[in-house]
Amino acid sequence: MDYLNSMALSQADADLLVSNYTGQISFGPITIKYEIDLSVPRVIVTVTITLPIIGTRTIGSVTLDPQHPQAKIGGSFGPVTVELDLNLNFGAKQLDYHLTATIAGRGLNKSGVINF
CA dihedral 12, 14, 16, 20 (to 10 degrees): -170
Q: Count the helix, strand and coil residues of the chain and give each as a percent rounded to the nearest 5.
A: 10, 65, 25
Q: Which of 29, 64, 66, 69 is nearest to 47 (CA)?
A: 29
3-state secondary structure of 13: helix
Give the integer Cα–Cα distance in Å for 116 and 96.
Answer: 11
Where are the domains positioned within the chain?
Answer: 18-115
In whole numbers, what is the pLDDT of the chain averaged over residues? 90
The pLDDT of residue 107: 98
Q: What is the pLDDT of residues 6-51, one digit of tens each?
A: 556 566 555 555 689 999 999 999 999 999 999 899 999 999 999 9
